[in-house]
Amino acid sequence: MQMGTCIVCGSSSDGHICATHEEDVVFDFRGNSPNQLTPGRFYRGTVDGFAEFGVFVDVGDSVTGLLHRSEIPGRVESLDWDAGDEVFVQVTDVHDNGNVDLGWSIRESLRDFRGELVEDPSRDSDAELPDDDEDDSDTTEQSDATEDSSEAAEPAQTDDESVDDSGTADGGTPVEESEDEPDDAGFEFADSEDDAGADDQSATEAATEHVEAARSAESESAEADDGEDETDESATVKVGDLDDHVDETVTVEAEIASARQTSGPTVFELADETGVVDAAAFEEAGVRAYPGTGAGDVVRLEGTVERRRGELQVETEDLTELDGEDADAVRQRMDDALDERAAPETTDLLADDDAVEAVHDDIVDAATAIRRAVIDARPVIVRHPTTVEGYVAGTAVERALLPLIRDEHAREDAEYHYVDRRPLDDAFYTIDDATGDVTSMLEAAERHDEKHPLFVLVGAGSTTESTDALDLLNIYDADTVVVDGGYADDAAGMDVLVSPTAAGEDPVNTGALGAQLAAVVNGDVREDLQHLPAVAYWQDLPDAYAELADDTDYDRETLGQLRDAIALEAFYQSYEDKRELISDLLWGDADHELVDHVATQFRERLDTELSTAEPHLSVRGENGVAFETLDVAAYTHKYDFPPVDLLLDALHRRDDRADVLLGVHEDELRVRSDDPVDVRAVADAVADELPDAGVTPRGARDGRIEFLSGERDAVVDAAVDALADQLA
């Protein structure tokens, strides 16, 4: 197997790709047997047919695999695919019987990969550049669908020599490049979003056109020099104005949003305050041009503006990285303009709420930061607890983001690429959560040149438990927005904090707060959000949010069923966002058949657990305060619905025999009370009395207490005393 150079990182490799970057490129399969495929690689394929259980995809001409419905983010029937469509899939397994398992590829166009290679078992290497000797009888459509690196490989024709199909002068000695001709004379770059380097024009024709244009320009320049000593430099043009400069040489000062290596040119995605455009630079086929320049760098690029199949592109002639004051000036210009563009179109709240009005400016700041991330092509990662409040708030922000992302980014998978909602295991953002997020973030930056995302923590992140996690994000300069209706600490580390309690107000429902924020992020979805605050409340729905819901098609009974359905689905597969299912529940179930079905399951499961737990409540009194205690570990079904917090909430709402309900679960104590209590103060009192019990408060003043399980009885007694003193 011959040694080569990786087209992504330039390291030595077997063929043209190293093991580290094998999943960053897409392969054209030229084999004829399933066992010749390489599991883990991404392949270009063609939709062969559909079934209830998935999609059949042809990989190459002779092998068909199954993309099972469990691999598809959504339902099979929701795919915008037809038989014969070109798609991209990952081979996950090849069975002994020849069956091929396929995985979903979030990258659904050539431009999303960092190169294209050929996997041909008949060759010495298992990773070759695409051929430039394809059958001349191939149709134009076939050539359009295949990235042709030969455009970058053919040498330019000179005045005195003709170039035959072998790329040699007069069929013999290879043509040497003229010093006066550009190095990339034979190159034509990406013509469309779905074709990163192919064109209808042959390589020789492209080279000839390019050279003739260059000579014509050279001749005109020489004539101009005869009449004057100085020539005008190319005009500096904003990306949004390039449409007025097609076929002209211009200068663009912008930031590189991403860089990807194709089998021919290096394609830089340039972004300024007015838009984004692709610019291609050619060194030689598959070799990284300007290797020291990448995402985040500010550059001055000179090149020719061209239009290919309706898409503007710039063919790079020179690229210079800016630094110091020059780079700062460009960034400042972009920042000022983008901040103005990112400002919300409306800052009106969804409903009147004094506690929310107190943080109105913070909501606007948070909405601006979120909108700016969309414009900056930075993914938005929404983190929220697996509670009804968390899901309502997180889904509201997601609902607001999706139309903005579709409008801003043309790529087909943009709504999955630029927003990712990730439920949390607990009511805070832990170092474990942050470690996973940072790992994914760094991998995306390393493998795909992606910018660091904006993290939006909803219903979490405002207490000291999240400090270490936020500090880890800060080390990597990842921006954070924290939106929390509960009690907040004097926490630091986030870029924007939206917290009514930090502003001196009482706590508010985080679901309602998230819906208020979403309405400012995108005013076009306000009507979609009107019923969400009412869904997030279990009881005591404020009048403002009740009136808001009354203006929708949802009655109070349906809103309660929606809440119950969200609570049930939040519990199962809690690590998944369940985007399509949650969306169907909240917006896509006109006849409420799905809501009725899921809500009925919720009620049956909750009633079963309540009937199991209620006979085991123990009652005691202390200083005039009535307490009930449930040993959760002993008298509930472990791992079954409902989760502990939801069960205790339901018990406390249903039972009026006691002032305080204590849920004791192994090494944790949870408190539910008719009157507000400060659990942290209780924990401090218990820790003073039992210094060896490992007593630690978790969460804000309405959180829980952790302790050593061997000290459980003593901790419960001490907590009862402290709570009685606080409530007396």
pLDDT for position 376: 86
**Is the same domain home to 20 and 73?**
yes
Give the domain extent around 673: 612-727
Tell me: the pLDDT tens digits for 598-645? Answer: 999 999 999 999 999 999 999 999 989 999 999 999 999 888 899 999
Show the CA angle centred on residue 291, arms to residues 286 and 293, nearest 5°. 130
pLDDT for position 131: 62
**Is the same domain home to 424 and 481?**
yes
> Which pair of tokens denotes residue 227?
């009449």
Tell me: the pLDDT tens digits for 381-399? Answer: 999 999 999 999 999 999 9
Distance CA 279, CA 282 (A): 10
**Is the same domain home to 60 and 29?**
yes
Distance CA 130, CA 117 (A): 6
Q: In the chain, which stretches have pLDDT less than 70?
A: 1-3, 74-75, 125-126, 131-233, 263, 308-310, 410-412, 491
pLDDT for position 263: 66
**Is the same domain home to 516 and 634?**
no
Domain containing 307 — which CATH number? 2.40.50.140
**Is the same domain home to 540 and 442?**
yes
pLDDT for position 9: 75
**Is the same domain home to 516 and 472?**
yes
In a domain, 227, yes or no: no
- Residue 242: φ, ψ to 5°: -60, -25
**Is the same domain home to 254 and 351?**
no
**Is the same domain home to 255 and 349?**
no
Q: Is residue 481 within 8 Å of 496, Cβ to Cβ?
A: yes
**Is the same domain home to 61 and 36?**
yes
**Is the same domain home to 326 and 426?**
no
> Which pair of tokens denotes residue 593?
């058949």
Q: Report how many domains make up the chain.
A: 4
**Is the same domain home to 351 and 414?**
yes
Q: What is the dihedral of CA 484, 485, 490, 493, to 10 degrees?
A: 10
In a domain, 594, yes or no: no
Number of alpha carbons in the 13 Å side-chain half-sphere of residue 600:
6
Domain containing 407 — which CATH number? 3.40.50
User: Residue ranges of the alpha helices (H) in 376-477?
Assistant: 388-408, 414-417, 431-448, 467-475
Crossing angle of helices 360-375 and 510-521, in 10° steps, is 50
Name residue, tokens 């060759």: 123
**Is the same domain home to 308 and 438?**
no
Distances (CA, A) of 95 to 29, 65, 66, 101: 18, 11, 12, 8
Show the CA angle centred on residue 362, arms to residues 392 and 518, nearest 5°. 30
Q: Which of 568, 586, 604 is the last residue of a domain?
A: 586
Rounded to two decimals, the pTM is 0.66
Q: Which of 75, 108, 128 is the last residue of a domain?
A: 128
Q: Which of 335, 355, 383 is the last residue of a domain?
A: 335
